[in-house]
Amino acid sequence: MIYIHVPFCLSRCIYCDFFSTVPENNGPMERYTDALCGEIRRRAAEMDGQPHTLYFGGGTPSVLPLECLTRILLTLEEVGHGGPYKEFTLEANPDDVVQKGLPYLESLRQLGVNRLSLGVQSFDDELLRWMRRRHDAQKAREAVRLVREAGFRNLSLDLIFGLSNLPEETWERTIDEALALKPEHISCYQLTVEGESPLTGMLEDGRYEEASEEVCRAQYDLLCRKLGAAGYNHYEISNFALPGFEAVHNGGYWARRPYVGLGPSAHSFSGCSRSWNEDKLDGYKRTEESLSEEDEKVETLMLGLRTTAGVDAAFLEENAMRGSIETLVEAGALVKIGPRYRIPEDHFFTSDEIIRQLI
């Protein structure tokens, strides 16, 4: 598994705290590509034996010129880790897709991209403007049309819920619009106020009030009901897929498979240690920390219980707080299916609290 972070955006969304910069020209992106290709060559040995998935995240990878993307892929091929990949995902902004058009999408397919993740977030124009997104609802629809015309048959849409300024009817309409486009996958994340995002300042000076837990729960429950009725498998707390289209790459994260993260601020996992790169376009250093046996147990439990696969029953019984499993099973917050425990969907929303009780 290889993850590549592309730290560029043409504008900054109101909720974003990820490392990214707004390039005034192609110069910073060329510098980034030089540094990234150098890192690929230095770390080639770490990629040996990795499952064959490649994921470009960001930032906004669709901002990156095709010339830069091609250089990166050629460097991976040079060190023996080129495609074809079982799953090659690229995150894209609908505005970029519409502006660059069909030739851009066809070029992505020729380069081996076989899965696109579109950051739609909402189909309400007023809300999109408030989020400081670059696209409107019509551009999102047009982007999906172009993606299909280009021949992509594995499309994921990102949506956001948990906003205090998101009326129920607007949220229901957004879900219905997303379903009408028939994506193979939908990722839906609850809004959180993070670090130094613009939304943090708005919260501090009273221009925004966080949604209550009751509002967030109602929005999440509506999402689960409608996507379930439409045939989507709710295979992870925030992710839904039509059968056979569960994200291979992200599934590796939840199963704690090793992965190599490349580029500024990217994280890597070896199985017994984690490392991360500095938030710099080039010349970035990497920091590494070892995981204790206790760290590994907690991670296994936390990540496994985010999914419908759950965790091994013997492992949980050996490592959970005394009496916690019985209490949660009796409350219906934990179920045992065969040799594994899992959190049922109607308790996914409170999974953090359930996991805290176990550990």
Q: What is the mean pLDDT of the chain?
A: 93
- The per-residue pLDDT for 14 is 73
pLDDT at 214 > cutoff 80: yes
Mean pLDDT within 109-117? 98
- The per-residue pLDDT for 348 is 96
Mean pLDDT within 232-248? 98
Exposure of 274 in the CB half-sphere (CA atoms within 13 A): 11
Distances (CA, A) of 156 to 11, 14, 58: 22, 22, 15
Q: Write the pLDDT tens digit of every residue in 1-14.
A: 999 999 998 877 77
- The per-residue pLDDT for 193 is 77
The pTM (predicted TM-score) of the whole model is 0.94
End-to-end CA, the chain? 29
- The per-residue pLDDT for 51 is 64
Percent of the chain with pLDDT over 90: 82
Which residues in the chain are classed under CATH 3.20.20.70?
A: 2-254
Q: Write the pLDDT tens digit of every residue in 53-74.
A: 999 998 899 999 999 999 999 9
Q: Write the pLDDT tens digit of every residue in 141-199.
A: 999 999 999 999 999 999 999 999 999 999 999 999 999 999 999 999 998 877 777 77
- The per-residue pLDDT for 74 is 97
* E strand intervals along the chain: 2-6, 53-58, 87-92, 115-121, 155-161, 185-190, 233-236, 239-241, 260-262, 267-269, 273-277, 286-290, 311-312, 335-337, 340-342
pLDDT at 48 > cutoff 90: no
User: Which carries the bigger pLDDT value, residue 15 or residue 63?
Assistant: 63
- Annotate 232-243 with b (16+ C-beta within 10 A) or e (fewer): bbbbbbbbbbbe
Residue 220: both structure tokens together: 């999440």
- The per-residue pLDDT for 359 is 87
DSSP 50: -
DSSP 288: E
Q: Write the pLDDT tens digit of every residue in 270-284.
A: 988 999 999 988 899
Which pLDDT band holds residue 50 (cuts at 50, 70, 90)? low
Query: Is CATH 3.20.20.70 correct for 2-254?
Result: yes
